[in-house]
Amino acid sequence: METTLRGVGVSHGVAIGEVRHMGTAVLEPPAKQIPTEEAEREQGRARQAVEAVAADLIARGNLAGGEAQHVLEAQAMMAQDPELMADVDRRIAVGSTAERGVYDAFASYRALLANAGEYLAGRVADLDDVRNRIVARLLGVPMPGVPDSDEPYVLIARDLAPADTALLDPALVLGFVTEEGGPTSHSAILARALGVPAVVALPGAGEIAEGTVVAVDGSTGEVFVEPSDEKRTAMESAAAARKAALSATTGPGATSDGHKVPLLANVGGPADVPAALEAGAEGVGLFRTEFLFLDDSKQAPTEAKQIAAYRAVLEAFPEGRVVVRVLDAGADKPLDFLTPADEPNPALGVRGLRSLLDHPDVLRTQLTALSKAVEGLPVYLEVMAPMVADRADAKAFADACREAGLQAKFGAMVEIPSAALRARSILQEVEFLSLGTNDLAQYTFAADRQVGAVSRLQDPWQPALLDLVALSADAARAEGKSCGVCGEAAADPLLACVLTGLGVTSLSMGAASIPYVRATLAKYTLAQCERAASAARATDSAEEARVAAQAVLSGE
């Protein structure tokens, strides 16, 4: 009998197939005491296991490339965290085995962060996955992972760690469903990069029996258990129609009446460029430069290394627009040479631009490298600062850009509610705004973007978030300047129409989402988008906003 479950759709497309569950195992080692003379040997075992796991994560990242590589390299750094390893050594010194020392140290670190009320510096699923991999290696047991299957299937898991998601084979894994996670979790981001339909934050997903046929709609978040023949046919037809529409719509982004909405790509480095070009990106709306700095948490990359990496991306978009975000460190991206180690709440502390202003040499080197990288290239370079709170922040960044001799437009990211509320003031110092809707939602609703329990507040359709977008876009229009969106909200085709109606001037997203957004925008006029935006803002919940916008655009 067909039943319908609803989670959060995070990656477009339809998947129909039999369920396979992620392998699980109890990885809590026994608590037993070892003689004092064995402590040094056990500490050595622990260090070897940690280094082996870190090397494996880096190797997986190299194999996966793109966004996944950056995520896995950050996870490898988590495995080698010196404070964690010091705690492991202490526990072994007083009698724990290597595996128990690792298990307890990770548990203590996790509990300490939660009890202190912090946003977790390391993401929960990532932290647990690192612990499990180290303990499994020490116990000599296989690491639970993606099931072996010769036939395509729909994968169901409590959550997916980046190391698992990054290497999913789209030919076998038709789609996936998780009980936890949110629209901006690593699993969601990597699913979009892979082009695999996905639904997250679906309570009870783990109770669906192995072998059950399900139909997953990654756009609506619906999962149909044992779908009827009629339902399967309808979903397959809709998917085919969507694919045909994608193929038929090409060229620059625009509404049906010719209002231009440049569609740009979010990239993390040169490895992401081919996919962006294949999708027809008109430029780069968010070039995350963290990938260079995460290679070595002890020191910043040299100017020469930065120049080479930046130029590789800039050269790929002649006559195009490339928006570079300077280093956004802190919170879930700590760097030893830049990030305070004792902050009680890193997400609300010294991160983003605040870190760079505290370390002007790091900012100066990056801006100088960008200035040299763009020399002689026919590209429109724009450089923006993360986590801008007010006009003073914007002025400090613009002054630093000018002092470095940077020939580019200077901009500010709107990720803090104060920046949206005072956008016109900030625009007295910079030339454009770019909305990071992931962090803007997190700070607006006090909802950690990695906690599934508050995922409804991370929904970019929340009317309060749309209000802040409208405030920013209105300010930019009044000042004759641009206001783009580079957060995950831009990847939702229907929401892209609403953002356009709110006055956003460009949309940047993962390359896999560009064809969907292009095809959807081309179906509606600017006036329709504006009416949909007004209808969405007039509601009181994300679901009501989505329904209201859909009703307007479908002519109901």
Q: Buried (b) or exposed (e) across 10-38, using 16+ Cβ within 10 A?
A: bbbbbbbbebbbbeeeebebeeeebeeee
- What are the start-end ranges of the E strands in 444-549? 482-485, 506-509
Alpha-carbon span 347 to 340, nearest angstrom: 12
Cα–Cα nearest to 481, from 379, 394, 399, 353: 394
Q: What span, in angstroms and rounded, lies between the C-alpha atoms of 263 and 19?
A: 35
Segment holding 494, helix H or strand E: helix 493-502
Q: In what order do the strands lie in the sheet with 8-11?
A: 3-6, 222-225, 213-217, 14-21, 153-157, 173-178, 198-200, 8-11
User: Which DSSP letter does residue 331 get?
Assistant: T
Q: Which of 12, 70, 186, 359 is catalytic?
A: 186
483 included as an active-site residue: no
Torsion of CA 174, 180, 182, 183, to 10 degrees: 10
Give dist(CA 103, CA 110) in Å, integer. 11
Q: Give the tokens for residue 422.
A: 């005072």
Quickly tell me which residue has 């001037």 as its tokens.
505
β-pairing, 3-6 with 222-225? Answer: antiparallel
Candidates 12, 70, 359, 486; catalytic one: 486
Active site residue 529: no
- How do beta strands 173-178 and 198-200 pair? parallel
Q: What is the token pair recorded at 202?
A: 């679906």
Which amino acid type is present at position 484? G
Does residue 13 contact residue 197 with C-beta atoms inside 8 Å? yes
Q: CA 366, CA 377: separation in Å to the nearest integer?
A: 18
Give Cα 80 to chain centroid, integer Å: 23
CA 492/CA 547 separation, integer angstroms: 14
Name residue 410's amino acid. Answer: F
So which residues are the catalytic ones?
186, 486
